[in-house]
Chain A
Amino acid sequence: QVQLQESGPGLVKPSETLSLTCTVSGGSISSYYWSWIRQPPGKGLEWIGYISYIGSTSYNPSLKSRLTISLDTSRNQFSLTLSSVTAADTAVYYCARAVGSTWHFGLWGRGTLVTVSS
């Protein structure tokens, strides 16, 4: 059974860089598209960006200037870095998997709360 697990610091200072990793267990990172999605407390879902199994990326235009998503196939992981964070970046961050032919998110991690505060 394939599972996704987010990991990273739960607290980041303003103006610093947020870094998270999603580990894929029980299956291969190949042949799928891997996204980051976030949800501020009490609010809705916001797609951040994705990376494909061959390393191509697509980013939310509103975050693109601060965002990098990378892939480590040897570790079955993909990562998110978001620079110059502010309190508005406080959210639960989810990683999720999509199939390229249908593009829906059929598998999600449990999410990790990242708080931006000094």
Chain B
Amino acid sequence: EVVLTQSPGTLSLSPGEGATLSCRASQSVSSNYFAWYQQKPGQAPRLLIYGASSRATGIPDRFSGTGSGTDFTLTISRLEPEDFAVYYCQQFGDSLQYTFGQGTKLEIK
């Protein structure tokens, strides 16, 4: 089973600042099947990034994803108040299994 470890667990920043969220896989995963989600309290997760770097429909260009192999990054430039939420990474592997990271909480400083 591929384990995804996200860091940091909590990130405290101010609106207008930039954010860098990390997701590390326990073994190499396909970037084609790697995604990031945003979840706000009481809501279902929302797809942000798929294929490691492609923005989903309607996602602002301040969100960007990079990475390959075992290391992936979600970058949010110029944080807006609505960006403060929990972010999850997700991968789909050869064993036809999905795994999620444990989440990074982005909170207002």
Contacts and interface: CB of A to CB of B under 8 A. Distances in A.
Contacts of B35: 104-105
Contacts of B101: 44
A40 interface: no
A117 to B, nearest CB: 21
A44 B45 contact: no
Which of B33, B39, B98, B102 counts the most chain A CB atoms within 10 A? B98
Interface residues of B, number: 25
A44 B56 contact: no
Interface residues of A, number: 20
A110 interface: yes
Interface stretch (B10-18, B19-27, B73-81, B89-97): B89-97
Contact of B100 (A47, A58, A61, A108): A47
A94 interface: yes
Contacts of B90: 45, 104-105
Contacts of A109: 44
B99 A110 contact: no
A110 B98 contact: no
A13 to B, nearest CB: 26
B63 interface: no
